[in-house]
Structure 1
Amino acid sequence: MTINQLLQKLEPTSPILQANFGIERESLRVDRQGKLAHTPHPSCLGARSFHPYIQTDFCEFQMELITPVAKSTTEARRFLGAITDVAGRSISKDELLWPLSMPPRIKAQEIQVAQLENEFERHYRNYLAEKYGTKLQAISGIHYNMELGKDLVEALFKESDQTDMIAFKNALYLKLAQNYLRYRWVITYLFGAAPVAEQGFFDQEVPEPVRSFRNSDHGYVNKEEIQVSFSSLEDYVSAIENYIEQGDLIAEKEFYSAVRFRGQKVNRSFLDKGITYLEFRNFDLNPFERIGISQTTMDTVHLLLLAFLWMDAPENVDQALAQGHALNEKIA
């Protein structure tokens, strides 16, 4: 029985909209003239590696604001607003959080890799700087995290003929990821907000109009030879492991898909312990919203994700996702 058939069998009072949400927002610290701030991460926030809500991303001047798990989009956005307020009061009075995904005018030599305490994290960032360049790392955005509601998943499982809850949940999240990648051009079309790059940011001019540099192949993406299949969870896990073994990736988190499976420390654990939630990584900062994302966007995406869960999965997954990528590139 397909997932949309299971959804149709649910009682009218079933908790279809039940879910958990979280938001991660990246933003650059700049001075009042719009130039990158060269001050260190605010010491008043304590150890950045252990602060639960305010950390440093790739660059020393790139803050990452992380909400706790929320039971609604409204609550998640309220958390982000509060954390944004704390961040704004913690940085220097002469500094602001840059509202755009694309950075102000910068030079590669200006970008200082975050001075983190963890040795591997410092090594990882230096590796990324050498492999992809430092300027691309300064592109910022929003990560939208969602876990399907426990009661919703249990209701669907009860209607199914499945006996393994972990395998059932993995199938739900895999289908959701497949359809998200297949139709992510919709997200780029509706919410793309990175149409301009400062002169000199890219080595060559981009002749066509742009909706989102960040969500195009001009953004922060893997090398073209990194092709990971989403046709099955085993294929996904094995492909990334093979790239790491061959030295093409340094760690599993170097695979920069628009969607990531989350909830376990290593990918292989998804197979026997299960996927907990999905992280959607292709949201530009909304420059017209003080905290970078609107309530309308959050609610629209939630409904889109439920639609992707309802829709049939593609028959030829790799081909459909390649077509989705090509269309997203055209839209971006």
Structure 2
Amino acid sequence: MTESLLRQDLLIALGKVGVSEILNKSLTGIEKESLRVSPDGSLSQSEHPQSLGSALKHLWITTDYSEAMLELITPPMEGIPQTLDFLRDLHLYVYAKLREQDEFLWATSMPCVLAGETNIPIAEYGTSNPGRMKNLYRVGLGHRYGKVMQVISGVHFNFSFEESLWPLYADAIGESFSGQAFIDKHMMGMVRNIQRFGWLIPYLFGASPAVCRSFFGEHQPSNLESFDEGTYYLPYATSLRMSDIGYQNQKEELVGIKANYDSLESYIDSLAHAIATPAEPWKELGLRDENGEYLQLNTNILQIENEYYSTVRPKQLLQNMEMPTVALKQRGIRYVELRSLDVNAFEPLGINESQLRFLQTFFLFCLLHESPVISPSERQEIDENLLITSRNGRDPECKLQQNGKEIPLREWGMELLDAMRPVAALADSEDEGLFTAALEKQVDRMLDADLTPSARMLAEMREYSESFYAFAHAKSHEYYLSYEEQKLDEARAAEFEQETADSLRRQLELETVKQEDFDQFLEAYFSTGLVSNT
């Protein structure tokens, strides 16, 4: 069924124009989150290290929700090996700095030893209005959803096709190329298919089948089982991070938010509506406390676009302090961000080359596949399939929903992977076959769930009678030692040191400029969608 929707004439036409060279010029970027921890695995209580520069202004090293939650960002680069080299170099640089204060990075998505919400320091970004806004957004997230789930880490895959692909693609499908409008139309079609088939990602790459009991504090979750006295898990789970215990808009039914992916315009309008529409739960929370301090950016359904959790986002590079919806409306889609990847505890970087090659193949498949708009019933199926796979995907009897009927996960999975074979061949250069090899590795995982990262994690925990904490701590320390043995190239080290110094200078310059009233700053941001950095 799936393969029939990939037109053979389209594949032949793209093959004739040498599209593999164009596809290999596509841009890939990685954003990888990791928690800074003390030697015992507890969450660091120290400030973001000055030696790593300004979290507000550094191009490649910042923080996410918590002051202890590092986010390492590669620039968009041609070639997957180059992207991974840059990410490895960032790790080498960061580990060298953390070693000075006896800290290292936690190697799994699910967090380390937590001691309640009061021990999760929210990220600080200085005294400028942009810095205060970034901090306040995170304060609001804590009040709305709680702090604990905000410190779950992930890997984001950013991807854009090389621009010369689009006219060739238009010709191959018999449409006229209309520039950005054509790109936006077909990128949104790709985004819809990434959602349709997105349950594949936690099955193949999920690496969070277990979690430390400290994650829940005194609460005993009724929907998980005990692995040992320190660990909760589910026997066939792939990604608890992507399940109902992970970072979701858990109150979305109450506040009524669901983005519309029919077109870029409808997507923008649905998010803009949510940012501008008051929500009763957040009105009850209040905008300020009794001392007049802000509790959240606003009392609307969403504070800003980023609050809406989705597995995939169409994105545009931001100019100055620009709202993402404004950037998309003015300049269209620049790239697509996949957000459903766990940190792979079996990889020092949290991700590897084979995985990235499969993801590129998956994105191309989703572009070439027929992509009707998502109906309300299909939207429900998409959400349910993601949850079922996250909690129970390795069960041999696991079934998903497809067009109102049940289908075995493995049957659908093999159908999709078989249909991707000619797509991988399209991306392969003549003498290598790396994309096909990456695809075949995932076929093996679909045929044998024991090969998936989630199964391997539980198997290793059982073999060594380890709790989740012991497993994750051992992996984290292993990578700490491995990076100690590696040396960062002198030119790259100098580049990172320069950016670190420049980022601190940029923040200082920003904070020395007279700031307008913060209330007025926020009002201008939400009314115009674009404000200056001062």
2:42 is the counterpart of 1:9: no
Cα gap change, 1:290/1:7 in structure 2, threshold over 3 Å: closer, same or farther? same
1:110 pairs with one of 108, 111, 119? 119
Q: 181-190 vs 319-328, which deviates more? A: 319-328
Q: 231-240 vs 53-62, which deviates more? A: 231-240
**CA-CA distance at 1:250 after TM superposition:** 0.7
Q: Which residue of 1 aligns with 2:468?
A: none
Q: Which residue of 1 aligns with 2:200?
A: 186
1:278 pairs with one of 329, 332, 336? 336
Write out per-residue CA displacement over residues 129-176 of structure 1, whole angstroms, 9 at most, x where no aligned residue. Answer: 111111111100100000011121232134443242111100121011
Runs of 4+ in 1 over 6 A off after TM superposition: none
2:64 is the counterpart of 1:57: yes
Tell me the distance in 2 between the aligned counterparts of 1:71 and 1:16: 10
Write out per-residue CA displacement over residues 281-301 of structure 1, whole angstroms, 9 at most, x where no aligned residue. Answer: 111000011111011111111
2:265 is the counterpart of 1:213: no
Tell me the distance in 2 between the aligned counterparts of 1:294 and 1:25: 12
Structure 2 length normalisation: TM-score?
0.59
* Contact 1:102/1:139 (8 A) holds in 2: yes
Q: Which residue of 1 aligns with 2:259?
A: 228
User: Which secondary structure does the structure 2 equivalent of 1:91 belong to?
Assistant: helix
- The one-letter code sitting in structure 1 at the alignment partner of 2:262 is S
2:414 is the counterpart of 1:323: no
Cα gap change, 1:197/1:125 in structure 2, threshold over 3 Å: closer, same or farther? same
Tell me the distance in 2 between the aligned counterparts of 1:179 and 1:114: 34
* Contact 1:58/1:113 (8 A) holds in 2: yes
**CA-CA distance at 1:23 after TM superposition:** 0.2
- The one-letter code sitting in structure 2 at the alignment partner of 1:262 is K
Tell me the distance in 2 between the aligned counterparts of 1:269 and 1:6: 32
Aligned pairs, how many?
331
Q: Which residue of 2 aligns with 1:82?
A: 89
Write out per-residue CA displacement over residues 305-330 of structure 1, whole angstroms, 9 at most, x where no aligned residue. Answer: 11111211135444333312211110
User: Which secondary structure does the structure 1 equivalent of 2:113 belong to?
Assistant: coil
Residue ranges of structure 1 left out of the alignment (5+ in a row): none
User: Which secondary structure does the structure 1 equivalent of 2:164 belong to?
Assistant: helix
The structure in which a higher percent of residues are helix is 2
Q: Which residue of 1 aligns with 2:274?
A: 243
Identical amino acids, percent of aligned pairs: 31
Q: 224-233 vs 64-73, which deviates more? A: 224-233
Cα gap change, 1:318/1:72 in structure 2, threshold over 3 Å: closer, same or farther? farther
Q: Which residue of 1 aligns with 2:466?
A: none
User: Which secondary structure does the structure 2 equivalent of 1:103 belong to?
Assistant: coil
RMSD: 1.9
Write out per-residue CA displacement over residues 213-246 of structure 1, whole angstroms, 9 at most, x where no aligned residue. Answer: 1111221111332211212222211111111111
User: Which secondary structure does the structure 2 equivalent of 1:326 belong to?
Assistant: helix
Structure 1 residues 1-332: aligned runs within 5 Å: 6-10=10-14, 11-14=16-19, 15-93=22-100, 94-106=102-114, 107-117=116-126, 118-159=131-172, 160-202=174-216, 203=219, 204-207=221-224, 208-209=234-235, 210-222=237-249, 223-225=251-253, 226-246=257-277, 247-265=300-318, 266-314=324-372, 316-332=374-390
Cα gap change, 1:325/1:8 in structure 2, threshold over 3 Å: closer, same or farther? farther
**CA-CA distance at 1:7 after TM superposition:** 4.7
Tell me the distance in 2 between the aligned counterparts of 1:244 and 1:269: 15
**CA-CA distance at 1:304 after TM superposition:** 1.2
User: Which secondary structure does the structure 1 equivalent of 2:272 belong to?
Assistant: helix
Residue ranges of structure 2 left out of the alignment (5+ in a row): 225-233, 278-299, 319-323, 391-534
